[in-house]
Structure 1
Amino acid sequence: MSQPMRQRFDGSSTALAVLHGRDLRNKIALVTGANTGIGYETARSLALHGCDVILACRDIEKANEAIRRIQQEKETANCVALEMDLSSLRSVREAFEQFKQKFKSLHILILNAGVFGLPYQLTKDGYETTFQVNHLSQFYLTLLLEHIIQHSNNPRIVIVSSESHRFSMIRTPEDVHQSTLSPPAYKFWPMGAYNDSKLCNLLFAQELARKWPSVSVFACHPGNMVSTSISRQWWLYRLLFALVRPFTKSVQQAASTVVFCATAPELEGVTGGYFNNCYRCQPSNPALNLTLAARLWTLSQDMITDILKTNGDNGDKDE
């Protein structure tokens, strides 16, 4: 599909510039990992323009502190903190139950949370952490929210991926199995795990756009080595991010493509695209492989089902 309309924004645009003059009252958005970095600037920008924003975060205190900062700028900003630990499918389920009790609609779902450069470690569910946090748990959250999203007015889902997806070693459907997505320690490389998880984000977006045609689904790249806390896990990453900081986007600029995908009027009725610098671009060939995307979807469902059975939880597993 060709680029819709002319380009209004670019890599130097900020999220607030993208939203200039917009009134998002009566819109409800949920942003994962919203207490810091790109997620915070995304939540803040939406809230300052009247959107009701749920900040879904692992640390509820940090989420509440982020809300206090937003409300210092705009007292009437309507933000709610939601505790959600993406290293636990049970926590995702509990967060969904809390959300469902308070909200009947969800117009914008932004899957922003992510980890980078983690050493090898397993989650509470026994899966490799980068894979579960960056893909599997947010995949599960989306499936849980299906009924609410599908019955909302003009809903959009934005999945924050990365140009790093181009370096994933996953190339064909045969490469997608549990031992590659959640490898044993001796096969694990932090950067490889991150690259693979970012390809998973794009494949998920492709398959979700196909399965849920009434929802506008987008994946996006916020920017290269943006100065956020994502690099905190290793001193070398922190050094690299510090060195390139003068040449990279600000966090407000990094949030612009996320906000553009979530709100731009010209994307009404568009779905399945990958955006960078507020512009539709071509992802890698594996990211466009529909068989690969379908295989990842099925395996992700199976991995979730295995954990739910182990935990004695027969929660919704939407097809």
Structure 2
Amino acid sequence: MYFLYTVFASLGFFFILKWMKKRRYFTELKRLDGKTVLITGGNSGIGKETAVALAMRGARVVIACRDQNKAEKAVREIKLKSHSLDVLHMELDLASLRSVREFCKNFLQKEKRLDILINNAGMPGILDWTDDGFSLCFGVNHLGHFLLTNLLLPRLKECAPSRVLTLTCSSYKYQKLDFQDLNYNLLPFFTYCRSKLANIYFSQELARTTEGKGVTSCAVHPGFVQSSWTVHYSFLFRMLMQVIMWMFFVSCEIGAQTVIYCAVSDEAAKHSGGYFVDCRPATLRPFARDAGVAKKLWEASERLVKLV
């Protein structure tokens, strides 16, 4: 009898885990021939899976990351999986505003189109700093992408209708912004939460500033994904998180589905400024829909990256 209880309990636990990890798949086969897609951090995880899916639909895909060896390997794998030769890599270090500016200059010289920009690269909350003195998490997740998007915005407008997708996380709900100290580096997890909230405000303000100009913007929560973010932590923490991620997190392929949906779907384009989860619009906490805070963050970010 004890054995039967154990079997039923194990089966029940298994089905609960399977239900918790259940997600929608985006199956629309809309083509992207003639369009150019730029994906930051497209050499691994969600970014790589997104690159494969969009290359399969005929898009020219540019993956931007700082490690050339990893990027070249990823480009070969993306080409193989997507059966597309129109995939390339350009060097970009989002932790350096100088690198962002150089990348944008090179991209605009070499690429005549930009139809979809996917701000995918991200850093977990760790105590480290960018070349410009910002916390690494906030500097990469928000400021690097903020500058990148603004410098590429003229090309996005030229190629309208175009889209900007910014990956965020539901952990935004655990923090609010402190404009006296946007870096907030004492508790790494809260730094991460603030950077993800900043991604949401950025996406909303971008939608407002580009309204009527053919550029749509949305924030995407891909779910909790089995990615490689744990490499920045200790061995014991990595082992613990591997078990937790195996049990509760979804694969990168599944996590990429909402990103692909927002990049391709005509329905998603109707919700500029929206927040998407599991291939559909989702509701944000009231404080994350504050247009005044979004505008204030935009203006503060312009000063920090020296756009004004």
| Superposition TM-score tier, normalisation by shorter sequence | 0.7 to 0.9
Give the 3 Å change call, closer, same or farther, for CA 238–106 of structure 1 in structure 2. Answer: farther
* Residue in 2 that maps onto 1:54: 62
User: By how many angstroms is 1:156 displaced?
Assistant: 0.6
Does residue 1:30 correspond to 2:38, yes or no? yes
Identity score, percent: 36
**Bigger relative contact order, structure 1 or 2, given CA contacts below 8 A and separation 6+?**
1
Secondary structure, in 3 states, of the residue corresponding to 1:204? helix
* Residue in 1 that maps onto 2:136: 129
Secondary structure, in 3 states, of the residue corresponding to 1:53? strand
Contact 1:32–1:110 (CA<8 Å) still a contact in 2?
yes
One of 75, 79, 92 as aligned partner of 1:67: 75
Contact 2:46–2:253 (CA<8 Å) still a contact in 1?
yes
Aligned partners of 2:152 and 2:42: how far apart in 1? Answer: 18
For 1:148-194, what per-residue CA distance to the aligned partner results, in whole angstroms no more than 9, with x for missing partners?
A: 00111310111000001011143xxxx323xx2124xxx51110100
- Unaligned 5+ segments in structure 1 are 1-9, 306-316
Aligned partners of 1:238 and 1:27: how far apart in 2? Answer: 41
For 1:111-147, what per-residue CA distance to the aligned partner results, in whole angstroms no more than 9, with x for missing partners?
A: 00001132x2221111111100000010000000111
Contact 2:95–2:144 (CA<8 Å) still a contact in 1?
yes
* Residue in 2 that maps onto 1:250: 251
- Between Structure 1 and Structure 2, whose CA radius of gyration is higher? 2
For 1:259-283, what per-residue CA distance to the aligned partner results, in whole angstroms no more than 9, with x for missing partners?
A: 1111102223430100000111111
Give the 3 Å change call, closer, same or farther, for CA 19–63 of structure 1 in structure 2. Answer: farther
* Residue in 2 that maps onto 1:265: 266
Contact 1:207–1:297 (CA<8 Å) still a contact in 2?
yes
TM-score (norm 1): 0.85
**RMSD of aligned residue pairs (Cα, Å):** 1.7
Does residue 1:160 correspond to 2:167, yes or no? yes
For 1:211-259, what per-residue CA distance to the aligned partner results, in whole angstroms no more than 9, with x for missing partners?
A: 01131111011012x1111122223255234323233211111000011
* Residue in 1 that maps onto 2:12: none
Aligned partners of 2:296 and 2:250: how far apart in 1? Answer: 35
* Residue in 1 that maps onto 2:291: 290
Give the 3 Å change call, closer, same or farther, for CA 181–152 of structure 1 in structure 2. Answer: same
Contact 1:162–1:222 (CA<8 Å) still a contact in 2?
yes
* Residue in 1 that maps onto 2:13: none
Count of residues in correspondence between the two structures: 284
Does residue 1:12 correspond to 2:19, yes or no? no
Aligned partners of 1:293 and 1:169: how far apart in 2? Answer: 12
Aligned partners of 1:36 and 1:256: how far apart in 2? Answer: 15
Does residue 1:200 correspond to 2:177, yes or no? no
* Residue in 1 that maps onto 2:7: none
Aligned partners of 1:43 and 1:296: how far apart in 2? Answer: 30
Give the 3 Å change call, closer, same or farther, for CA 97–19 of structure 1 in structure 2. Answer: farther
Contact 1:23–1:50 (CA<8 Å) still a contact in 2?
yes
Does residue 1:78 correspond to 2:86, yes or no? yes
Secondary structure, in 3 states, of the residue corresponding to 1:50? coil
Secondary structure, in 3 states, of the residue corresponding to 2:105? helix
Give 1:132's aligned amino acid.
Answer: G
* Residue in 1 that maps onto 2:103: 95
* Residue in 2 that maps onto 1:150: 157
Does residue 1:222 correspond to 2:216, yes or no? no
Secondary structure, in 3 states, of the residue corresponding to 2:288? helix
Aligned partners of 1:122 and 1:11: how far apart in 2? Answer: 37
Aligned partners of 1:258 and 1:240: how far apart in 2? Answer: 24
User: By how many angstroms is 1:11 displaced?
Assistant: 5.2
Aligned partners of 1:275 and 1:228: how far apart in 2? Answer: 20
Secondary structure, in 3 states, of the residue corresponding to 1:127? coil
* Residue in 1 that maps onto 2:3: none
Contact 2:119–2:167 (CA<8 Å) still a contact in 1?
yes
* Residue in 1 that maps onto 2:118: 110
* Residue in 1 that maps onto 2:6: none
